[in-house]
Amino acid sequence: MSMIRISARPLSRAPRRAPRAVALSVTALLTATACQLGPGRVCTLVGSDSGVSVGWDPEAYPDGALFRLCADGECRERESLREFPFGSLQVRMPEEDGPREVAVRLSVTDPARGGRVVHDGAARVTLRKVTPNGEGCGPVVWQAAVRADPRDGLTPAV
């Protein structure tokens, strides 16, 4: 039978790094992770998805309203809460290879009133090319956005 030996010596602590050394390390790491495409071109690494999104002002709808966005037969739902400054919801689309028109439908129900529909609107939008990391840098996605307003319905997002 072997015995385990335990030492009562305190462990030494690693020396603390100066804030400047940490800042330089972070800067070097960020620079190293940027994608380099050819001489002089540096791309950021922002991710994005193709899809259709809707935005709204939570103050304009009942608290707890349920938003249901459908685009091209795909649907997603989200509850809207007034404690947040803005509301948004996106339906992801398959990766596209060009612009096209998409049918969009939005319905908003008020659960406090037994699920009564307080907004129901439809629109057609055109998916547009978006390059979040700059032209010539991936990913290339196709997106469209609308705003929901109880008076104006669905309008193109600016």
Burial of 118 per CB tally in 10 Å (0-12, 13-18, 19+): middle
pTM of the model: 0.69
Could you tell me the two tokens for 94? Answer: 């398959």
Burial of 139 per CB tally in 10 Å (0-12, 13-18, 19+): middle
Alpha carbons 130 and 144: distance in angstroms, whole number = 10
For 51-70, the pLDDT digits (tens) are 999 999 999 999 999 999 99
For 116-143, the pLDDT digits (tens) are 999 999 999 999 999 999 988 989 999 9
Alpha carbons 59 and 101: distance in angstroms, whole number = 30
- % of the chain exceeding 70 in pLDDT: 73
Residue 95 has pLDDT above 50, yes or no: yes
